[in-house]
């Protein structure tokens, strides 16, 4: 790496699947950036202490104040034992936002928080001028117009294999040369099942993803295809295209990470074995390439890559998201909030697997759903979110699914 010796990195969601893999990439390629700060939810104190010992950040933020004391004690003892300085430790959601906005335009913030709680940190990072490596797709989905308005061209680098693939396929392509984006989907663990077969699915079955090891929410979203629905919206905002120019195709091998079809009939694909370190390293090091970052494809053995249409009747999540994107305003915030509540209820045993998408539809069809418009800003989005969470919870409670 050249020219990045002084670059600082803030990592939000350090103990998660993306966060931990990001620290692995950083340990292997220390020239990318110096770790300035970590933010975590707080449920994994031992892991946080280990990360602090290895990477020695100056700041640590614990989002959930209820976990702050345990984290502080564990980290302080670990640092004293190792004879190193304890980082400054803050707690609470405002401290996460403050950390996200604390760097400058030479630096990078990687947002790997799960859920729409990532929106305000995303906006803070963009306002600071830092590069935003964005794994938290929910912030782009729920606040797409706010996020794109706050971002300078090229300031957001997606950390989502599909969008990282599209960004790479678009290198050297002008916007007027693009015909369609083609987002690939593994199909999740229930590809080929009927609705009847999905009626009795358990959380354990939903967590058994065939090709990717990820956090709980995104893994469940991959099983319902809500993740692919969020990714269609993410692509619309990231690449400034309407939803009817973003296709989805099921590709069970997860080798082709997405494609771009050009106006001349050519399709450009990005292919590599499924490994999120590729997307993480791409976004952190761009425009450099990290040698040996992840394994390359081996074409000495026979292999087949297959593509098939999505079964939209069994998995209606994408069609519902397309409609909410066409409506615009706060509809996508309502979609995402309903899904987050539904996933929690599914894990609590209060909602069936098929009930997740049904609940999203009911919340969007609710006659009293507030319609935030583009002038309502972040408060409008948050108000829709709050309403949608309340509506989702009472629908779950009423129907005792």
Residues that bind Mg ion (CB under 5 A): 160-162
Residues within window 55-94 making contact with ligand NDP, judged by CB under 6 A: 63, 93
Residue nearest to ligand NDP as judged by C-beta position: 16
**Shortest CA distance to 163 belongs to which of 263, 238, 242?**
238
Residue nearest to Mg ion as judged by C-beta position: 160
Under the binding rule (CB under 6 A), the answer on residue 334 touching ligand NDP is no
The residue assigned the tokens 């009293």 is 368
Residue 187 CB partners (closer than 8 Å, separation 6+): 210, 250, 252, 308, 310
CB of 193 to ligand NDP, least distance (A): 23
CB of 311 to ligand NDP, least distance (A): 22
Instruction: Measure the CA–CA gap between 92 and 89, rounded to whole angstroms.
Output: 10
Under the binding rule (CB under 6 A), the answer on residue 51 touching ligand NDP is no
Under the binding rule (CB under 6 A), the answer on residue 11 touching ligand NDP is no
Under the binding rule (CB under 6 A), the answer on residue 347 touching ligand NDP is no
Under the binding rule (CB under 6 A), the answer on residue 396 touching ligand NDP is no
CB of 72 to ligand NDP, least distance (A): 14
Site string for ligand NDP, 96-115 (x = CB under 6 A): x---------------xxx-
CB of 148 to ligand NDP, least distance (A): 17
Residue 207 has which token pair? 């967590």
Is 219 or 324 the residue whose CB approaches ligand NDP more closely? 219
- Tell me if residue 62 falls in helix, strand or coil: strand
Under the binding rule (CB under 6 A), the answer on residue 253 touching ligand NDP is no
**Shortest CA distance to 217 belongs to which of 383, 394, 41?**
41
Q: Within 13 Å and on the Cβ side, how many CA atoms surround 158? A: 23
Under the binding rule (CB under 6 A), the answer on residue 37 touching ligand NDP is no
How far, CA to CA in Å, does 212 sit from each of 26, 99, 188, 254, 318? 21, 30, 9, 9, 20
Instruction: Measure the CA–CA gap between 164 and 234, rounded to whole angstroms.
Output: 12
Query: Residues 23, 45: contact at Cβ < 8 Å?
Result: no
Site string for ligand NDP, 123-152 (x = CB under 6 A): ------------xxxx--------------
Query: Residues 62, 68: contact at Cβ < 8 Å?
Result: yes
Which of 10, 12, 150, 259 binds ligand NDP (CB under 6 A)? It is 12
- Tell me if residue 282 falls in helix, strand or coil: helix
Is 162 or 247 the residue whose CB approaches Mg ion more closely? 162
Instruction: Measure the CA–CA gap between 390 and 354, rounded to whole angstroms.
Output: 20
Site string for ligand NDP, 178-217 (x = CB under 6 A): ----------------------------------x-xxx-
CB of 276 to Mg ion, least distance (A): 9
Which of 36, 44, 131, 228 binds ligand NDP (CB under 6 A)? It is 44
Instruction: Measure the CA–CA gap between 109 and 211, rounded to whole angstroms.
Output: 27
Is 138 or 247 the residue whose CB approaches ligand NDP more closely? 138
CB of 15 to ligand NDP, least distance (A): 4
CB of 79 to ligand NDP, least distance (A): 19
Q: At what angle do helices 161-169 and 226-239 cross, to 10 degrees?
A: 30
Instruction: Measure the CA–CA gap between 144 and 102, rounded to whole angstroms.
Output: 22
Q: Which residues bind ligand NDP (CB under 6 A)?
A: 12-19, 39-44, 63, 93, 96, 112-114, 117, 135-138, 160, 212, 214-216, 218, 276
């Amino acid at each position: 790496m050249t020219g990045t010796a002084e670059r600082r990195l803030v990592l939000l969601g350090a103990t998660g699947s993306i966060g931990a893999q990001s620290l692995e990439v950083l340990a292997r390629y220390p020239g990318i950036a110096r770790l300035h700060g970590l933010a975590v939810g707080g449920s994994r104190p031992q892991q946080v202490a280990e990360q602090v010992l290895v990477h020695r950040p100056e700041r640590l933020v614990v989002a959930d104040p209820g976990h702050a004391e345990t984290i502080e004690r564990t980290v302080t003892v670990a640092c004293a034992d190792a004879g190193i300085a304890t980082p400054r430790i803050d707690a609470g959601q405002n401290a996460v936002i403050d950390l996200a906005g604390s760097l400058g335009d030479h630096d990078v913030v990687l947002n790997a928080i799960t859920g729409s709680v990532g929106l305000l940190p995303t906006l803070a990072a963009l306002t600071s001028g830092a590069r935003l490596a964005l794994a938290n797709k929910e912030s782009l989905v729920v606040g797409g117009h706010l996020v794109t308005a706050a971002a300078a061209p090229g300031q957001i680098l997606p950390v989502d294999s599909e969008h990282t693939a599209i960004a790479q396929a678009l290198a050297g392509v002008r916007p007027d040369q693009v015909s369609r984006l083609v987002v690939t989907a593994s199909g999740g663990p229930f590809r080929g099942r009927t609705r009847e077969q999905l009626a009795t699915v358990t959380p354990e079955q939903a967590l058994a993803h065939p090709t990717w090891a990820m956090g709980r929410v995104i893994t469940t979203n991959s099983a319902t295809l809500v993740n692919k629905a969020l990714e269609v919206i993410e692509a619309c905002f990231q690449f400034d295209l309407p939803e009817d120019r973003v296709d989805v195709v099921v590709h069970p091998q997860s080798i082709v990470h997405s494609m771009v079809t050009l106006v001349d009939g050519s399709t450009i694909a990005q292919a590599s074995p499924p490994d999120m370190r590729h997307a993480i390293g791409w976004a952190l090091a761009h425009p450099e390439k990290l040698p040996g970052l992840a394994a390359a494809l081996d074409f000495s053995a026979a292999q087949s890559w297959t593509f098939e249409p999505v079964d939209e009747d069994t998995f209606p999540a994408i069609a519902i998201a397309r409609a909410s994107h066409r409506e615009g305003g706060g509809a996508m915030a309502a979609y995402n909030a309903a899904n987050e509540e539904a996933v929690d209820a599914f894990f609590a045993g209060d909602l069936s697997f098929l009930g997740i998408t049904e609940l999203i539809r009911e919340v969007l069809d609710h006659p009293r759903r507030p319609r935030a418009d583009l002038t309502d800003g972040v408060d409008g989005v948050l108000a829709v979110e709050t309403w949608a969470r309340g509506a989702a919870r009472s629908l779950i409670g009423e129907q005792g699914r």
